Amino acid sequence: MDFLSIDVGTILFTLINTGLIFLAFKLILFKRIDAILEQRQKEVTDVYTKADQALKSADSDKEKYAQAISGAKEEAETIIRRAEKIAQKQGDSILEKARHEAQAVREKATLETEREKNLARTELQGEISDLAMELAEKIMEKEINNADHERLIDDFIQNIGEQS
C-alpha cells in the first residue's frame, strides 16, 4: 500500500471495526456499569427510606410511651385517691363501730346495774315482809307488852339494818 492512500476496503473494514468496538463498549462496559450504578442507587434509596421509616416509627413509639407513662401516672393517682377514700371510709366505719360497741356496752352495764338494783330491792322487800310476818307471829304468841313491843321494833329495825 502507498504511504498515503484512500482505500475503500480499509474504510469499510474500519467502519465495521469501529461499530464492533462501539458495541463492545455499549453492550459490555456501559450496560453493565449502568446497571450496577442504578442498582446501587436503588439500594441507597432503599436504605434512606428504611432509615426514615425507622425514625418515624421511633418517634411515634416515643409519643406512645410518653402517653402511656402519663396515663399510668393518672391511673396511679386515681388508685391512691381511691385507696385513701377507702381507708378513710374504713377508718370511719371502724370508729363508728367502736363507738357503737362502747355505747352498747355502757347501756348493757346500766341495764345490769338497774336489774341488780331491782333484784336487790325485790329481795329486800321479800325479806321485810317475812320479818313483818315473823314479828306478827311473835306478837301473837306472847302477849305483847309495851316493853316487848319496843324491843320487838328495835329488833326488827336492827334486823333490817343487818339485812341491808
d(CA 1, CA 138): 193
15 or 58: CB nearest other proteins = 15
13 or 65: CB nearest other proteins = 13
- Quote the least distance from Cβ 53 to other proteins, whole Å: 21
State the SS3 of 75-86.
HHHHHHHHHHHH
How far, rounded to the nearest angstrom, does the alpha carbon of residue 54 sit from its chain's CA centroid?
38
- Quote the least distance from Cβ 55 to other proteins, whole Å: 23
d(CA 53, CA 63): 15
- Quote the least distance from Cβ 54 to other proteins, whole Å: 20
- Quote the least distance from Cβ 47 to other proteins, whole Å: 11
d(CA 24, CA 137): 162
5 or 146: CB nearest other proteins = 5
d(CA 17, CA 22): 8
- The residues of the shown chain that bind other proteins, judged by CB under 8 A, are 1-15, 17-18, 20-22, 24-26, 28-30, 32-37, 39-40, 43
